[in-house]
Amino acid sequence: MKKFLVGLTISLGAVAMAHAAGDPNAGQAKAQVCAACHGGNGVGIAPTFPNLAGQNASYLAKQIREIRDGVRSVPQMAGMVDHFSDQDALDVAAYFSQLPANLGQADPALAEKGRNLYRAGDLAKGIPACTACHSPTGQGNAPAAYPALSGQHPAYTVTQLKNFRSGERSNDPNNMMRIIANKMSDSEMEAVADFVSGLHGKSE
Protein backbone atom coordinates (compact mmCIF):
# COMPACT_ATOMS: atom_id res chain seq x y z
CA MET A 1 0.00 0.00 0.00
CA LYS A 2 2.83 2.39 0.88
CA LYS A 3 4.52 1.73 -2.47
CA PHE A 4 1.21 2.32 -4.23
CA LEU A 5 0.71 5.70 -2.50
CA VAL A 6 4.27 6.84 -3.22
CA GLY A 7 3.97 5.88 -6.87
CA LEU A 8 0.63 7.63 -7.18
CA THR A 9 2.01 10.80 -5.57
CA ILE A 10 4.93 10.90 -8.00
CA SER A 11 2.72 10.34 -11.02
CA LEU A 12 0.23 12.96 -9.88
CA GLY A 13 2.99 15.54 -9.55
CA ALA A 14 4.33 14.81 -13.01
CA VAL A 15 0.88 14.93 -14.57
CA ALA A 16 0.01 18.20 -12.88
CA MET A 17 3.15 19.90 -14.21
CA ALA A 18 2.61 18.52 -17.71
CA HIS A 19 -1.04 19.57 -17.80
CA ALA A 20 -0.16 23.20 -17.07
CA ALA A 21 2.08 23.38 -20.15
CA GLY A 22 -0.54 22.58 -22.82
CA ASP A 23 -1.47 25.32 -25.32
CA PRO A 24 -4.94 24.76 -26.84
CA ASN A 25 -4.36 27.36 -29.57
CA ALA A 26 -1.26 25.54 -30.78
CA GLY A 27 -3.08 22.24 -30.32
CA GLN A 28 -5.91 23.17 -32.67
CA ALA A 29 -3.68 23.11 -35.73
CA LYS A 30 -1.86 19.98 -34.60
CA ALA A 31 -5.20 18.20 -34.02
CA GLN A 32 -6.31 18.42 -37.65
CA VAL A 33 -4.92 14.93 -38.28
CA CYS A 34 -7.23 13.59 -35.55
CA ALA A 35 -10.46 14.75 -37.23
CA ALA A 36 -10.68 11.81 -39.65
CA CYS A 37 -11.59 9.47 -36.77
CA HIS A 38 -12.41 11.72 -33.83
CA GLY A 39 -14.42 14.31 -35.73
CA GLY A 40 -13.81 18.00 -36.20
CA ASN A 41 -15.59 18.66 -32.91
CA GLY A 42 -13.81 15.91 -31.00
CA VAL A 43 -16.75 13.48 -31.15
CA GLY A 44 -15.83 10.10 -32.66
CA ILE A 45 -17.35 9.54 -36.09
CA ALA A 46 -18.14 5.90 -35.19
CA PRO A 47 -18.86 4.13 -31.88
CA THR A 48 -15.47 2.45 -32.03
CA PHE A 49 -13.63 5.79 -32.00
CA PRO A 50 -13.57 7.58 -28.63
CA ASN A 51 -14.94 11.04 -28.05
CA LEU A 52 -12.07 13.36 -27.12
CA ALA A 53 -14.03 16.57 -26.61
CA GLY A 54 -14.14 17.58 -22.96
CA GLN A 55 -11.73 14.83 -21.94
CA ASN A 56 -9.22 15.61 -19.19
CA ALA A 57 -6.08 17.01 -20.80
CA SER A 58 -3.78 15.15 -18.43
CA TYR A 59 -5.35 11.82 -19.40
CA LEU A 60 -5.29 12.56 -23.14
CA ALA A 61 -1.66 13.66 -23.09
CA LYS A 62 -0.73 10.47 -21.26
CA GLN A 63 -2.55 8.31 -23.82
CA ILE A 64 -0.96 10.10 -26.78
CA ARG A 65 2.52 9.65 -25.34
CA GLU A 66 1.95 6.00 -24.48
CA ILE A 67 0.49 5.20 -27.90
CA ARG A 68 3.47 6.95 -29.50
CA ASP A 69 5.91 5.04 -27.31
CA GLY A 70 4.24 1.66 -27.77
CA VAL A 71 3.10 1.38 -24.15
CA ARG A 72 -0.51 1.24 -25.32
CA SER A 73 -1.30 -0.60 -28.53
CA VAL A 74 -3.99 0.98 -30.72
CA PRO A 75 -3.63 -0.45 -34.26
CA GLN A 76 -5.98 2.19 -35.71
CA MET A 77 -3.53 4.88 -34.62
CA ALA A 78 -0.43 3.31 -36.14
CA GLY A 79 1.82 6.13 -37.33
CA MET A 80 -0.62 8.88 -36.40
CA VAL A 81 1.32 10.30 -33.46
CA ASP A 82 4.77 8.83 -34.08
CA HIS A 83 6.10 12.30 -34.86
CA PHE A 84 4.47 14.00 -31.87
CA SER A 85 6.74 15.56 -29.28
CA ASP A 86 5.70 15.65 -25.64
CA GLN A 87 4.72 19.27 -26.19
CA ASP A 88 2.58 18.32 -29.19
CA ALA A 89 0.77 15.79 -27.01
CA LEU A 90 0.14 18.42 -24.34
CA ASP A 91 -1.09 20.99 -26.86
CA VAL A 92 -3.48 18.61 -28.63
CA ALA A 93 -4.80 17.35 -25.31
CA ALA A 94 -5.36 20.91 -24.10
CA TYR A 95 -7.27 21.71 -27.29
CA PHE A 96 -9.65 18.77 -27.05
CA SER A 97 -10.19 19.28 -23.33
CA GLN A 98 -11.77 22.69 -23.87
CA LEU A 99 -14.26 21.53 -26.53
CA PRO A 100 -17.88 20.90 -25.46
CA ALA A 101 -18.28 17.31 -24.31
CA ASN A 102 -20.58 14.91 -26.12
CA LEU A 103 -24.09 14.33 -24.78
CA GLY A 104 -25.08 10.68 -25.04
CA GLN A 105 -28.39 8.97 -24.37
CA ALA A 106 -28.58 6.02 -21.97
CA ASP A 107 -30.83 3.03 -22.57
CA PRO A 108 -33.56 3.02 -19.88
CA ALA A 109 -33.47 -0.78 -19.82
CA LEU A 110 -29.86 -0.72 -18.61
CA ALA A 111 -30.01 2.43 -16.51
CA GLU A 112 -30.75 0.92 -13.09
CA LYS A 113 -28.12 -1.82 -13.25
CA GLY A 114 -25.54 0.57 -14.66
CA ARG A 115 -26.34 3.26 -12.11
CA ASN A 116 -26.03 0.85 -9.20
CA LEU A 117 -22.66 -0.46 -10.35
CA TYR A 118 -21.33 3.00 -11.11
CA ARG A 119 -22.50 4.51 -7.83
CA ALA A 120 -22.02 1.60 -5.42
CA GLY A 121 -20.06 -1.14 -7.16
CA ASP A 122 -20.67 -4.73 -6.13
CA LEU A 123 -19.33 -5.57 -2.68
CA ALA A 124 -19.90 -9.30 -3.08
CA LYS A 125 -17.75 -9.43 -6.22
CA GLY A 126 -15.17 -6.96 -4.98
CA ILE A 127 -16.05 -4.35 -7.63
CA PRO A 128 -15.54 -0.82 -6.28
CA ALA A 129 -17.80 2.07 -7.23
CA CYS A 130 -16.65 3.76 -10.44
CA THR A 131 -17.30 7.13 -8.79
CA ALA A 132 -14.18 6.68 -6.65
CA CYS A 133 -11.93 7.49 -9.62
CA HIS A 134 -14.26 8.83 -12.30
CA SER A 135 -16.35 11.08 -9.99
CA PRO A 136 -20.12 10.98 -9.36
CA THR A 137 -20.67 13.10 -12.48
CA GLY A 138 -18.41 11.08 -14.76
CA GLN A 139 -15.91 13.91 -15.13
CA GLY A 140 -12.97 11.81 -14.00
CA ASN A 141 -10.06 13.17 -11.98
CA ALA A 142 -7.79 15.49 -13.94
CA PRO A 143 -4.93 15.74 -11.40
CA ALA A 144 -4.75 11.93 -11.26
CA ALA A 145 -5.11 11.62 -15.07
CA TYR A 146 -8.24 9.49 -14.68
CA PRO A 147 -10.52 9.89 -17.70
CA ALA A 148 -13.93 11.47 -17.94
CA LEU A 149 -16.50 8.86 -18.96
CA SER A 150 -19.57 11.05 -19.32
CA GLY A 151 -20.93 11.03 -22.87
CA GLN A 152 -18.45 8.42 -24.14
CA HIS A 153 -19.62 5.94 -26.78
CA PRO A 154 -20.80 2.80 -24.92
CA ALA A 155 -19.20 0.50 -27.50
CA TYR A 156 -15.82 2.13 -27.00
CA THR A 157 -16.06 1.94 -23.20
CA VAL A 158 -17.02 -1.75 -23.34
CA THR A 159 -14.10 -2.48 -25.66
CA GLN A 160 -11.65 -0.82 -23.28
CA LEU A 161 -13.03 -2.72 -20.29
CA LYS A 162 -12.69 -6.00 -22.18
CA ASN A 163 -9.17 -5.07 -23.24
CA PHE A 164 -8.25 -4.41 -19.61
CA ARG A 165 -9.81 -7.72 -18.61
CA SER A 166 -7.87 -9.67 -21.22
CA GLY A 167 -4.66 -7.76 -20.54
CA GLU A 168 -4.53 -6.46 -24.10
CA ARG A 169 -4.53 -2.99 -22.56
CA SER A 170 -2.18 -2.60 -19.63
CA ASN A 171 -1.39 1.09 -19.19
CA ASP A 172 -3.58 1.53 -16.11
CA PRO A 173 -1.78 2.72 -12.94
CA ASN A 174 -1.00 -0.15 -10.57
CA ASN A 175 -3.19 -2.59 -12.56
CA MET A 176 -6.29 -0.91 -11.16
CA MET A 177 -8.53 -1.29 -14.20
CA ARG A 178 -7.26 -4.76 -15.00
CA ILE A 179 -8.13 -5.94 -11.50
CA ILE A 180 -11.59 -4.37 -11.62
CA ALA A 181 -12.45 -5.44 -15.17
CA ASN A 182 -11.42 -9.01 -14.41
CA LYS A 183 -14.30 -9.18 -11.93
CA MET A 184 -16.92 -7.82 -14.33
CA SER A 185 -19.19 -9.77 -16.63
CA ASP A 186 -19.95 -8.63 -20.17
CA SER A 187 -23.44 -7.55 -19.12
CA GLU A 188 -22.07 -5.48 -16.24
CA MET A 189 -19.63 -3.76 -18.58
CA GLU A 190 -22.43 -2.99 -21.02
CA ALA A 191 -24.70 -1.60 -18.31
CA VAL A 192 -22.03 0.70 -16.83
CA ALA A 193 -20.88 1.86 -20.25
CA ASP A 194 -24.42 2.67 -21.28
CA PHE A 195 -25.16 4.51 -18.04
CA VAL A 196 -22.11 6.79 -18.23
CA SER A 197 -22.82 7.61 -21.87
CA GLY A 198 -25.95 9.43 -20.72
CA LEU A 199 -24.53 10.91 -17.54
CA HIS A 200 -23.98 14.35 -19.11
CA GLY A 201 -21.57 15.46 -16.41
CA LYS A 202 -24.17 15.52 -13.65
CA SER A 203 -25.37 13.23 -10.89
CA GLU A 204 -28.31 11.07 -11.95
38 known ligand binder: yes
133 known ligand binder: yes
Whether the Cβ atoms of residue 97 and residue 54 lie closer than 8 Å to each other: yes
Residue 4 carries which side chain, given as an amino acid letter?
F
Judged by DSSP in three states, 127 sits in strand
19 known ligand binder: no
Alpha-carbon gap, residue 150 to 75, rounded angstroms: 25
Whether the Cβ atoms of residue 157 and residue 148 lie closer than 8 Å to each other: no
Residue 3: half-sphere exposure toward Cβ, Cα within 13 Å: 2
Tally of CB atoms within 10 A around 196: 25
77 known ligand binder: yes
153 known ligand binder: no
**Binding site membership for heme c: which residues?**
34, 37-38, 77, 130, 133-134, 177
**Binding site membership: which residues?**
34, 37-38, 77, 130, 133-134, 177
